[in-house]
Amino acid sequence: MKYLTEFRDGELAQKLAAEIRAAVTRPWAIMEVCGGQTHAIIRHGLDQLLPPELELVHGPGCPVCVTPVAAIDRALAVAAAPGVIFCSFGDMLRVPGTREDLFAVKGRGADVRVVYSPLDAVRLAKGNPARQVVFFAIGFETTAPANALAVHQAAQLGLANFSVLVSHVLVPPAMEAILSSPANRVRAFLAAGHVCSVMGYHQYPPLAERYRVPIVVTGFEPLDLLDGIRRAVRQLEAGTHAVENAYPRVVTFDGNRAAQAMLAEVFEVCDRDWRGIGTIPNSGWRLRGGYRRFDAEERFAVGDIRSAESPHCRSGEVLRGTLKPNQCPAFGTTCTPRTPLGATMVSGEGACAAYFNYGRLTAVGTERATCPT
């Protein structure tokens, strides 16, 4: 896209930041929901341009991070089953299960493959009729349409050797869980722009109304993020709580109707466990009716596996916005991207990895300001 560099204009970013500094009169905590936004904020040092009263709280929007340990353990069991070709996005390979990760299972000879799209897994199933091909279907509303179409296509092609291990999660119920928690400090949200590109933002006005929080649909470039923050601050200071779209070049109110129709065809809403957070009602998708025959959990009978999270990892608090990664005692010592204790250190969009990779190794707020590039 020809405007990409302009959305990173450092001088304009400084001016937007100056406007935010001039507007803030009281302490506010604003949560950016999406891990991609966390990553961009830390990478470009946007947090360091903000006034001290304004705190950015990192949200639960990293699909790799919130996939529960039981789902990883099920994946490990399926991947190790004889004759299986197990397909996944690359960043899932190093997420720790109770005892090990997909890399370790692959190292012992399991056929674990990284694919770019779930349609690649369908193609593999078509080309390998004697093998069972399983795709690890994780992710938020941004990823789910791809996985829904893969299942739909497998049904169209009559493939009996394709299945999906589903662990889909939904953003609005997680935002509601955060807002309804007694420990909540979040006063405004930067809603996840790419989730909204699929779902639109018609789901948010009731949430904004009920909890009296401004919600601003926000993109991922430095200027997008600063604009989202600026709009949230303006509302907080004025005492309003509207839903605003600060990402109109990508997001519409209705979202992508074709994708939503396919999602409704293939999936239905269910309760879902979130890593480190626990069960959130109506916060996930599972296969619906006629598509259940593509459920790997049933095909491989791995539903009852017992799992345990690392007792040292505090990612649940990080994902709920009550703990900064560098306040975790394991951060940067026993837990690093090379030896991760939790998924938030594995994923490139995880808050712990973002802090580690961009040098937030000291206490919050003591770093030198850097200019966005």
Partner 1 sequence: MCLAVPGRVEAVFDADGVRMGTLTFGGVRKDVCLAYLPDVGVGDYALVHAGFAISQVDEATAAETLRTFAEMGVLADELGEEAG
Q: Which residues bind partner 1 (CB under 8 A)?
A: 1-4, 6-7, 9, 11-12, 14-19, 21-22, 34-36, 39, 61-64, 89, 91, 116-120, 139-140, 142-143, 145-147, 149, 153, 156-157, 192, 194-195, 197-198, 220, 223, 227, 248-251, 256, 258-259, 262, 347-349
Cβ closest to partner 1, residue 12 vs residue 323: 12
Report the partner that residue 328 touches, choosing among partner 1, ligand SF4, none (CB closer than 5 to 8 A by kind).
ligand SF4
Residue 85 beta carbon to ligand SF4: minimum distance, rounded to whole angstroms: 30
Q: Does 341 bind ligand SF4 (CB under 6 A)?
A: yes
Q: Does 223 bind ligand SF4 (CB under 6 A)?
A: no
Total residues in contact with ligand SF4, by rule CB under 6 A: 16
3-state SS of the chain is CCCCCHHHCHHHHHHHHHHHHHHCCCCEEEEEEEHHHHHHHHHCCHHHHCCCCEEEEEEEECHHHHCCHHHHHHHHHHHHCCCEEEEECHHHCCCCCCCCCHHHHHHCCCEEEECCCHHHHHHHHHHCCCCEEEEEEEECCCCHHHHHHHHHHHHHCCCCCEEEEEEEECHHHHHHHHHHCCCCCCCEEEEEHHHHHHHCCCCHHHHHHHHCCCEEEECCCHHHHHHHHHHHHHHHHHCCCCEEECCCCCCCCCCCHHHHHHHHHHEEEEEEEECCCEEEEEEEEEECHHHHHHEHHHHCCCCCCCCCCCCCCCHHHHHHCCCCHHHCCCECCCECCCCCCCHHHHCCCCHHHHHHHCCCCCCCCCCCCCCCC
Contact region with ligand SF4 (CB under 6 A), list: 76-84, 140-148, 264-272, 327-335:
327-335
Contact region with ligand SF4 (CB under 6 A), list: 131-139, 144-152, 293-301, 339-347:
339-347
Report the residue from 105, 302, 352, 354 that binds ligand SF4 according to the rule CB under 6 A.
Answer: 352
Positive or negative, the CA dihedral 203, 206, 211, 217 is positive
Positive or negative, the CA dihedral 319, 169, 282, 305 is negative
Residue 114 beta carbon to ligand SF4: minimum distance, rounded to whole angstroms: 22
Cβ closest to ligand SF4, residue 286 vs residue 324: 324
Report the partner that residue 294 touches, choosing among ligand SF4, partner 1, none (CB closer than 5 to 8 A by kind).
none
Report the residue from 137, 335, 360, 372 that binds ligand SF4 according to the rule CB under 6 A.
Answer: 335
Q: Does 345 bind ligand SF4 (CB under 6 A)?
A: yes
Q: Contacts from 176-185 at CB under 8 Å and sequence distance 24+?
A: 176/207, 176/211, 177/277, 177/280, 177/283, 178/31, 178/59, 178/60, 178/320, 178/321, 179/207, 179/211, 179/213, 180/211, 181/320, 183/320, 183/322, 185/29, 185/57, 185/321, 185/322
Report the residue from 302, 342, 347, 354 that binds ligand SF4 according to the rule CB under 6 A.
Answer: 342
Q: Does 344 bind ligand SF4 (CB under 6 A)?
A: yes
Report the partner that residue 63 touches, choosing among ligand SF4, partner 1, none (CB closer than 5 to 8 A by kind).
partner 1
Contact region with ligand SF4 (CB under 6 A), list: 114-122, 206-214, 310-318, 359-367:
310-318
Report the residue from 331, 347, 360, 372 that binds ligand SF4 according to the rule CB under 6 A.
Answer: 331
Contact region with ligand SF4 (CB under 6 A), list: 132-140, 221-229, 266-274, 307-315:
307-315
Cβ closest to ligand SF4, residue 19 vs residue 317: 317
Residue 343 beta carbon to ligand SF4: minimum distance, rounded to whole angstroms: 7
Cβ closest to ligand SF4, residue 144 vs residue 328: 328
Tokens of 196: 């909204």
Report the partner that residue 331 touches, choosing among partner 1, ligand SF4, none (CB closer than 5 to 8 A by kind).
ligand SF4
Using CB under 6 A as the criterion, which residues of the chain lie in contact with ligand SF4 when the complex forms?
312-315, 318, 325, 328, 330-331, 335, 340-342, 344-345, 352
